[in-house]
Amino acid sequence: MDPRRSRLVCEAVAIAWGSVLPVAMVHAQFTLPAEGEARQSPPAILEVSSQIGATDNGHLDPKGQERSDVILSVRPQLRMSRRSAAMKFDLDAAVTLFGYTNGSQQGGAVPDLRASLQSTLVDRWVYLDARAHIRQSEADEFGTRAYQGSDVNRRIEGIYQISPYIEREIDSNTTALVRHDLGLTIHPAGDSAQLLTNQTLARITRKPTPIGGTIELSRLDTETRRATSNRFTIEGRRAQGTFAVAEHVVLGAIVGMDRSRFAGTDYTDTRYGAAVQWNPGPRTELSAELEHRFFGRSGSFLFRHRMPSMSFSINASRQPVLETSSFGVRSGADVRNFLDAILTTRYPDPATREGVVDQVVASRGLDTRSPGAVDIVANYPQLVTNVQADWTWLSARNAASLILYAQTRTRLSREGDPLASSTLSTTDSRQSGGSVQFSRRLTPQLTANLLARWSKVKGVAAREGDVSDERTLRLAMRQALSPRTTAFAGVEHTRFSTTVAGYHDYSATLAFVGMSHRF
């Protein structure tokens, strides 16, 4: 870094620390309340954050062409939660308004909305789930990551899903389920207009006492709507026999068939496999399925374990999909979920526990949105393999999280031959990355946060040899000025390297200072 850039960053850091450290005598602190003293979160929380940042590379230009700039941003955020016997509704809506004083980027507004609804229409009969997610995402998986306050490699995507279903207990050991999921993913930028997904499931399940089983019919239709539409359909028929070999262990055998339709051609294939479940108690869960299908191995794996101070999970899946945003295939997780698991024993009431989680996140300054693979719409069906591991630890003064992920997307094939060869495999790739985060309370009012985040994308098939790598390191300090007001300051450095034509290597350092207030 040349002397001019070093001086700019150092001056910004000095201003940041000078504005935060004099308030160290303010007496505001946070400790985990006792179970009887914990209170539920208010029905609505409005928080406004503002930040001033000085960067040595405002437009993320290559070495020798950097332009320094000052970034101003304001982020109002509204969080709402409603609970009743027949309904659960959550809303997290925010918009980031940002601008560049030297004009290295245009600035603008970036929305971030997450809404979910779980409702009971007829008790023990008819239910309705719905969700919506509008967010900033990457326009190209090989470009730099899209961050708040930047318009480089950015697009706004919307994901919407509605799921009516009927679930009924036939007797104490038998349950029937009929469910339909309708999903719509919209990408306004580029040639990816929208993806429509329909998934229907009918299933009867009998608990293993000690012998049980499941009969299942399913259908998945996905259609991309661009200049030309592309449709892919899979119909499945599956039977699974289960046997409880021990008190907490259930084994299963799977048989069935698939009927797939793509580009006007139908295929019918058998499927078979095995399953295992292990549930020794409310803190530990393991389930796995492995099947042989027309494209090879398919299945899922889940292991979760929680303790009073730690939560750990591993999740893996391999399945066909036309777009990685469809029905939960998206990589990434929310650290709030793992904090919720850690605090389950201490705060059994979900509403009370939610309030404590909010306090932990706010007081420790945790980054709750974990990294994940970039979501891309392919113009052909793909086989997607996802693996993710999450570890979260919480103590009186420290909090830490480690998240690792890997995703491979390749053209869906049958017996080794592509189902359709009319288009190149231009979106096949291998993505990997993760983040590690550590937070420590230095005093009752002052908290230090260290965050390291990395991601790597490698091209496959037609994009063999294309590689992009990004690494970010951030150090921040948070000072509680009052129970509702927090000041923060820090430094963040990002380095990006690539072999992809049209992109360039860059590095950027940002020093920032800001304040947030909850109303």
For 494, the token pair is: 């990002």
Q: Which CATH architecture has domain 3-518?
A: Beta Barrel (2.40)
Cβ contacts of residue 300 below 8 Å, gap of 6+? 287, 288, 289, 316, 317, 318, 319
The percentage of the chain sitting over the pLDDT mark of 70, rounded to a whole number, equals 85
The dihedral formed by the CA atoms of 261, 262, 264 and 267, expressed in degrees to the nearest 10: -40
Cβ contacts of residue 134 below 8 Å, gap of 6+? 111, 112, 113, 156, 157, 158, 159
More confident site: 437 or 331: 437
Neighbouring-strand partners of residue 456: 432, 469
| Mean per-residue pLDDT of the chain | 85
d(CA 47, CA 30) in angstroms, rounded, equals: 18
d(CA 514, CA 73) in angstroms, rounded, equals: 9
For 39, the token pair is: 């209170």
Cβ contacts of residue 204 below 8 Å, gap of 6+? 170, 174, 175, 176, 177, 214, 215
What does the DSSP 8-state code read for residue 339?
A: H
On the question of pLDDT at 385 being above 90, the answer is yes
Is 297 within 8 Å of 290 (Cβ atoms)? yes
Is 383 within 8 Å of 411 (Cβ atoms)? yes
What was the pLDDT predicted at 36? Answer: 56
Q: Left if phi > 0, otherwise alpha if psi is -120 to 50, otherwise beta: which for 260?
A: beta
Neighbouring-strand partners of residue 237: 217, 257
Q: What is the pLDDT of residues 35-57, one digit of tens each?
A: 555 566 678 889 999 999 999 99
Residue 335 CA to chain centroid, in angstroms?
A: 10
Dihedral sign computed on CA atoms, order 345, 347, 350, 354: negative
What does the DSSP 8-state code read for residue 351?
A: H
On the question of pLDDT at 436 being above 90, the answer is yes
What was the pLDDT predicted at 31? Answer: 58
What was the pLDDT predicted at 225? Answer: 72
Neighbouring-strand partners of residue 262: 232, 265
What does the DSSP 8-state code read for residue 461?
A: G
What was the pLDDT predicted at 418? Answer: 52
Mean pLDDT of 256-280: 90
Q: What is the pLDDT of residues 355-372, one digit of tens each?
A: 888 888 887 878 877 778
More confident site: 225 or 209: 209
Question: pLDDT tier at 1 (50, 70, 90 boundaries)?
Answer: very low
Q: What is the pLDDT of residues 78-114, one digit of tens each?
A: 999 898 989 999 999 999 999 999 999 988 899 999 9
d(CA 59, CA 103) in angstroms, rounded, equals: 9
What was the pLDDT predicted at 205? Answer: 97
Q: Which helix (H) or strand (E) holds 5?
A: helix 3-20
Q: Is 213 exposed, middle or buried (0-12, 13-18, 19+ CB in 10 A)?
A: middle
Kindly list the domain boundaries of the chain, sorted by start residue: 3-518
d(CA 66, CA 54) in angstroms, rounded, equals: 13
What was the pLDDT predicted at 412? Answer: 83
